[in-house]
């Protein structure tokens, strides 16, 4: 399945891609977990990756504290200089890795850095051709890679803030994958009717928004940005049935921002009204 953050101009693409992955990945996942736990030399994992409903509602990642690393500088970018944008994003990625590695440690779950590709066109991914121009970023479960699209308007404006949130959001999907949340939702999805299915997907997407808000909130004071940048980001949000209403998206972004950690981001036990 592809997990995306769509650009405002876009509405759903991916509903069709949903039910593909199931039994194969589920069977393989047990083996992955076991080897990660037993063979873990770099990152000790005392806690097995949860499965089923427990992965969604009692995930150990919800029991961790606020993000510990609260400093993250934004490096300078130059207009239309893709390389400077990649360096900028790589640095944000370092910050995300530091912050999330500590949360995984607190949760007792093993951590590894995600694979990431920064692209400027619709390249081929492990989930098919990148859905440009509709997606600002995707997380592809098949290749375990975050694909971040740097597009023309962003290249023209080196002070833009959208890319920051895109990478934090896609990182959120990577976290969901590592802590068993995506696997659990993949197993539930085929048993759900259309309405419940969309609701489940919105809980996944809104949680990634919350994770991104929590990260951004935790390092905000170190960025030297104006409140306007954050307000502007919220203003720019559009909803759809796949990602939630604008109101829901803003709610979870702010909730993450104020909570500074993943403990406030359990969208799976939230009332339906909060994930509309
Ligand atoms: Zn997403």
Mean pLDDT of 195-210: 97
In this predicted model, what pLDDT tens digit does every residue of 121-131 receive, in sequence order? 999 999 999 99
Q: Which of 57, 59, 15 is nearest to 197 (CA)?
A: 15
**Could you count the other beta carbons within 10 Å of the beta carbon of residue 159?**
9
Whole-angstrom distance, CA of residue 209 vs CA of residue 228 = 19
Token representation of residue 2: 């592809």
Q: How far is the CA of 32 from the centre of ligand 1 (A)?
A: 24
Tabulate helix, strand, coil % of the chain (nearest 5).
55, 10, 35
Residue written as token pair 């992965």: 55
Q: How far is the CA of 242 from the centre of ligand 1 (A)?
A: 9
In this predicted model, what pLDDT tens digit does every residue of 29-47 receive, in sequence order? 333 333 333 334 445 568 8
φ, ψ of residue 266 in degrees (nearest 5): -80, 90
43 within 8 A of 104, measured Cβ to Cβ? yes
- Tell me the Ramachandran region of residue 244: left when phi exceeds 0, alpha when psi lies from -120 to 50, beta otherwise: left
In this predicted model, what pLDDT tens digit does every residue of 137-178 receive, in sequence order? 999 999 999 999 999 999 999 999 999 999 999 999 999 999
Mean pLDDT of 88-93: 98
Whole-angstrom distance, CA of residue 251 vs CA of residue 221 = 21
In this model, does residue 24 exceed pLDDT 90? Answer: no
In this model, does residue 86 exceed pLDDT 80? Answer: yes
Q: How far is the CA of 69 from the centre of ligand 1 (A)?
A: 24
In this predicted model, what pLDDT tens digit does every residue of 178-200 receive, in sequence order? 999 999 999 999 999 999 999 99
Q: How far is the CA of 208 from the centre of ligand 1 (A)?
A: 6
Token representation of residue 199: 């609701």
Residue 13: what pLDDT? Answer: 30
Q: How far is the CA of 38 from the centre of ligand 1 (A)?
A: 31
């Amino acid at each position: 399945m592809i997990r995306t953050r769509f650009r405002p101009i876009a509405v759903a693409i991916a509903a069709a891609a949903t039910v593909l992955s199931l039994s194969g990945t589920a069977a393989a996942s047990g083996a992955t977990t076991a080897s990660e736990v037993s063979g873990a030399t770099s990152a000790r994992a005392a806690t097995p990756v949860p499965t089923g409903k427990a992965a969604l509602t009692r995930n150990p990642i919800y029991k961790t504290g606020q993000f510990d690393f609260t400093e993250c500088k934004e490096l300078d970018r130059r207009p239309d200089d893709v390389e400077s944008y990649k360096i900028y994003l790589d640095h944000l990625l370092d910050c995300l890795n530091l912050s999330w590695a500590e949360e995984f440690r607190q949760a007792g779950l093993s951590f590894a850095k995600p694979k990431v590709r920064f692209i400027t066109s619709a390249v081929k991914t492990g989930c098919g051709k990148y859905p440009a121009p509709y997606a600002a970023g995707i997380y592809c479960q098949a290749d375990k890679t975050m694909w971040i699209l740097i597009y023309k308007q962003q290249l023209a404006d080196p002070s833009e803030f959208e890319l920051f949130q895109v990478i934090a959001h896609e990182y959120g999907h990577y976290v969901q994958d590592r802590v068993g949340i995506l696997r659990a939702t993949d197993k539930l999805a085929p048993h759900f009717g259309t309405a419940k299915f969309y609701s489940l997907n919105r809980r996944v997407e809104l949680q990634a928004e919350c994770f991104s808000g929590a990260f951004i909130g935790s390092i905000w004071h170190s960025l030297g940005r104006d409140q306007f940048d954050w307000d502007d980001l919220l203003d720019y949000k559009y909803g759809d049935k796949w990602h939630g209403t604008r109101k829901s998206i803003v709610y979870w972004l702010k909730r993450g921002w104020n909570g500074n950690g993943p403990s406030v981001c359990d969208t799976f036990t939230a009332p339906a009204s909060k994930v509309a």
